[in-house]
Amino acid sequence: MLAGDAVRSRTGWGRGRLGLELSEESAIFPLCSGEGRRSIDPRTSSHAPDPVMIDKLEFLIALSRERHFGRAAEICGVTQPTLSAGLKQLEGELGVLLVARGSRFQGFTAEGERVLEWARRIVADARAMRQEVDSLKRGLHGHLTISVIPTALSMVASLTTPYRARHPNVTFTILSRPSIGVQQELDNLAIDAGITYLDNEPLGKVSAVELYRETYRLLSAADGEFGWRDEVSWSELGHVPLCLLTPDMQNRRIVDQLLHSAEAEAVPTLVSNSMQVLLSHVRTGHWSSVMPAILVETLGIGERVRSIPIVNPEAHHVVGLITPRRETQTPLVAALIAEAKRFAARQA
């Protein structure tokens, strides 16, 4: 599926009340949502939120996400002149300048930032309405996109598998993202939900469900320096060559903070933004790493490696599901929240 198709499928807008398809020349304004590049004459849509306004707000959100006119237009499935014209029409209707323009995108004005906040609310409500009506007609169906921090990827199946067993007409896209990426994509309506840390770095305006508490293990060779130990302290890891996540990952920042508090510093001999890469190196028996216990338990480590609890202090951080903070969630997201609560209850 092309990126533009993904955006169009999320909103459902794109066909008038009579189901007529209009040419780009005859349409009042072409939409970046709906099936294909269809358009709606708002005069035929009096019983739905104004799709012309929804479309322009979608343009604004896409521009916020991409920070580039061309890429925003591509995601919306329209030409760049069409996107620019739509934004200018929106500015004309509101009577304020929203976008600081130059040879390239320069950001939003103060008024633009406020309108962007409203755009996210309005578009989210329009999507929620469409999804709820569709669910009433056909039962729960559709697509969920969830961005997940790398350290939590191994547990996602514990949510998606029972979810799909209850709702077999729902499909999923799971994306690996750093925590800041999860937050940004949720803010820009690019995803339906995220799984990230809840208690370490500030979150935006989200609703959260605690899933589990992340604790930490040293993974080291069974015949190595710590192979016989039942536990190891953070301070002892200061001289251990480690393979760790890259510094843009919050787990790496957590590990660095814990080592620093123990007056030790990380000595990475290899870094990667993939937990799978780190784990594959650890499994050789020639590398050590600090990893979350849930990851080790889910994926396994092999006979050549030992998983040793790290103490002094016995640290933990909360990982949870985050969704947009709203009075009424879409049916798909509401079902995901219910599944997350069931999972959390099993961990208690």
Asked if pLDDT for residue 5 goes beyond 50, the answer is no
> Which pLDDT value is given to residue 144?
95
Asked if pLDDT for residue 18 goes beyond 70, the answer is no
Architecture of the domain spanning 216-315: 3-Layer(aba) Sandwich (3.40)
How far is 201 from 212, CA to CA, in rounded Å?
17
Q: pTM score, two decimals?
A: 0.71
Tens-place pLDDT, residues 118-127: 888 888 888 8
Q: pLDDT tier at 104 (50, 70, 90 boundaries)?
A: confident
> Which pLDDT value is given to residue 243?
95
Question: Average of pLDDT values for 305-331?
Answer: 91
Pick from 203, 176, 169, 205: which is nearest to 331 by CA? Answer: 169
CATH hierarchy code of domain 139-213+318-347 = 3.40.190.10
> Which pLDDT value is given to residue 212?
96
Asked if pLDDT for residue 24 goes beyond 60, the answer is no
**Alpha-carbon 202 to chain mean position:** 16
CATH hierarchy code of domain 3-136 = 1.10.10.10
**Alpha-carbon 310 to chain mean position:** 30
Own/partner pairs for 41-45, CB < 8 Å, 24+ apart?
41/16, 44/16, 44/17, 44/18, 44/20, 45/16, 45/17
Say if 139-213+318-347 and 216-315 have the same CATH topology.
yes
Q: Where are the domains of the chain?
A: 3-136, 139-213+318-347, 216-315
Tens-place pLDDT, residues 37-69: 333 333 333 334 455 688 888 888 888 888 888
